[in-house]
Structure formats: C-alpha cells, structure tokens
Structure 1
Amino acid sequence: MSANKYLGIIFDLDGVLCSTDEYHYEAWKAIAEEIDINNFTPKDNNRQRGVSRMESLEILLEKSERKFTDKEKLILADKKNQRYKELLNNINSFDLSDEVRVALNTLRKAGIKLAIGSSSKNAGLILERLGLGNFFDVVVDGNSITKSKPNPEVFLKAAQMIGLQPSQCLVVEDAISGIEAGTAGGFDTAGIGGVMSYPKTTYPLRDFSQIMNIVFAN
C-alpha cells in the first residue's frame, strides 16, 4: 500500500498551473465597454474566478441598468469567449513555470494520479498551448459538467474517473468557489494565492512545490 498521503491530485487550471486572469479581464472589459459599462474593474473580474462563463456574465451585468434577454446573454458570452480564445494564442509552453513543471513531473513519476478540475470550457486549449495536452490522466472541464463551482461536481467526477475516493485526493485551488467545492465534496484542499488564509483551506501553499511536501508526508 502506498505511503503517500494522497493518491491523486485534482488541479484547477487558471491561477494554479498558469495565469490567464489578464486575458479574462481584457475580454470581459471589451464586452463591458460594448454595452456601455465603463466601470468594470479587476476587483469585479476577481469575483468571476472559478465560476462558469454565464455566471461571470451575470456578475458583469450587475453594473448595467439594461435588461438582457437570454438570447442576448448567450451572444455576449460567446463574444467574450471568442475574444478570450484569440488572446490565448499568446500562451505557450514558457508560461508554465519551471517550478510547476518540475513538481508535476515529480508527482507523475511517483505514480500519483493527476487530474484537471476546471469550470473553464477552454481547458483543453490552454493545456495544449502549455504543452500539457496529453499529460493528465483526466481532464474534467466546463464542457463535461452541469453545475459549476462551488458545486463539487467537477471534482467528484474527476475523482471517479481516476478511480479514487475524495478522501484519497487533494484539490489544488486559487479561488474561494473552488475551495468551497472541494470541501463540499469531501476533499482536502490546498490553496494558492488569495485563498491561502481562507478558513476552509486545508493547506496554505506559499509556492507550488509545497504540494510535494503534503503528498509525500509520512
């Protein structure tokens, strides 16, 4: 039986393995200006982290006095995604830090199951751009779930697909919605960035390499 504390790790993608916040913000800001919202800020953008595209749009539309139909909302969300995908062409393998690359390879060589659990519908594209297209055992993203974080569906599905129980997996997140989802699903969580000090975060991570200290703890 393995001595590792966890047999699987489920990573959020944006803000954990790489940062695409700048691209999300630029794309949403373009949509905001198109519909005469001129006060969309990085703070507003931060509220969109970890949630679905349509939920992100609703956060944006809180700043508009206009009422939009469901059809109009779908058009706006699609426009944002097209702009975002154009910006993703700027991503390449150099956006994967050496720290992250070394840690992922070390975990893989140790036989740890590795999965992606992301609300993004562009997870596959981002992974390809990073040079990680076929690296993970399982990729569960916004295309394969019906409920976004803080619902635990994405993590529960990933755990099931790698054949492990939630108690055997560690969820790595950078957003409160992700920590809430992991906790609701019965997972221990590791929090990077702003969720290091969030009360429900099991392990605060000052840097990505600390994951190995957690997983290989005796």
Structure 2
Amino acid sequence: MERKYKGIIFDLDGVICHTDRYHYMAWKNMADGLGIYFDEEINNRLRGVSRMESLEIILERSDKAYSDKEKEEFANKKNELYKELLNEMSEKDLDKKVKDTLDILKERGYKTAIASSSKNARLILSKLNLIDFFDIIVDGNDITHSKPDKEVFEKAGIGLKLLPNDCLVVEDAASGVEGAKRAGMDVAGIGDAKGIEDVSYSLESFEDLQKYCI
C-alpha cells in the first residue's frame, strides 16, 4: 500500500510537550502586577496565539490604555519569567511514549518538522534534548503571522521540500487546525483538538499516530 504522507509537522506545546503551567504562571504574574484579572479560562484562549496577541487578550480586562512601548515591556517581562521557569525543564518532561513514537516514525522514513508560534521553541527543544531530532524547526522567530494563519505550516512544508498533501499536521489547538487546513494539509487532532470537525484523525494519545503513519 502506498504511503499517504511523507512528512509529519508537529505543533510543540500541547503535542510534543506541555508547558501550559509555565505560561499560566508567567502571564498570571504579569497580570497581577497590573491589577488585571486572569484565570485558566482566559489562559486557554492564548493557546497557539503569539505573545503580543496573547497580551492584547489579557488587556481586554483593563480599563487603561497602554502605549506600544508599555505593551512591549509587559510582554518582555512575561517572557523573561517564562524562560526562567523553563530552566526547570529537562528530558524528564518528555513523555517516553512520545519519544518512542517519534523514533518509530523516523525509522519508518518520515520527515519531521516543528511548526510553533512560540519564540521559545528552540529553547524548549534543547531542554528536551530534541533540538537535532527534527529536520526543520519553524517558530515564532521565523514568521510574521501566528496561527490561525497558514504561514508557519507553509514554511515547514517548504523546508521539508514537500507538497501540502504530502504532510500531516499534529495539533492540539483550534487555531492550529485552522491554519493547517488553510495550508492545504491534513490534520491529526490531539487533546482539545481531537473533537474538532475539521480534523482528519482524532488521536486519543500521541502513540495513535503510528496507526495512521504506517
């Protein structure tokens, strides 16, 4: 049977690893400092969204108007705290089933890429000892538009030298699913994205990928 896909493009946070609690703690610290209400429900709206767009969502709760310079300072403060928290990460934060599945997909000859809106993707991958595993890494430093724009997925596909219909994207957020579909790629949904109507496959666990990538 002819293989349907040649490359697999992964979102990072929520798919390969989970850094939600670090994001939450950093944004919460920043919001508390400004006297702005912030909770986990608001935090969920930030998934797959760029740093500055995330900040704008948080500032919706504020009655004050902030300058672009102030907003940049707020975002930088959050990111510095986030990076401090990331220093706690190590290979122990990489689920063994995830690593085993990645190894199996590589053994089967699939090209692999990371497509993340995060500007800290390379730092996280280094902490997980995965920085050299993927053929291509496209993150927030390489794109102008964050998800649900298709840019990050198109760049990953181009980097892999594959056509869109040769790629399968693995995503956990609605914004990522939308962006991948806009790029003309099939999507395997995991976590919160597994129930989205547009996904090609719903994954109960990461290792389910092995069933669709023979």
TM-score range, shorter chain: over 0.9
* CA distance in 2: counterparts of 1:125 and 1:214, whole angstroms: 30
Q: Deviations over 1:76-130 (max 9, x none)?
A: 0000000000000111001111110000001111110000000000000000000
SS state at 1:209 partner: helix
TM-score w.r.t. structure 2 length? 0.98
SS state at 2:73 partner: helix
* CA distance in 2: counterparts of 1:188 and 1:151, whole angstroms: 15
> In the alignment, what sits opposite 2:47?
49
> In the alignment, what sits opposite 1:27?
26
Which residues in structure 2 correspond to 1:33-182 (within 5 Å)? 33-37=32-36, 39-182=37-180
> In the alignment, what sits opposite 1:215?
213
> In the alignment, what sits opposite 1:15?
14
* CA distance in 1: counterparts of 2:191 and 2:131, whole angstroms: 25
* CA distance in 2: counterparts of 1:190 and 1:65, whole angstroms: 40
* CA distance in 2: counterparts of 1:197 and 1:15, whole angstroms: 15
SS state at 2:188 partner: strand
* CA distance in 1: counterparts of 2:99 and 2:10, whole angstroms: 13
- Displacement of 1:4 in angstroms is 2.1
> In the alignment, what sits opposite 2:186?
188
TM-score w.r.t. structure 1 length? 0.97
Computed over aligned residues only, the root mean square deviation of the Cα atoms, in angstroms, reads 0.9
Letter in 2 for 1:66: K
- Displacement of 1:212 in angstroms is 1.3
Q: How many residues align?
A: 214
- Displacement of 1:195 in angstroms is 1.2
Point out 4+ residue stretches in structure 1 off by more than 6 angstroms: none
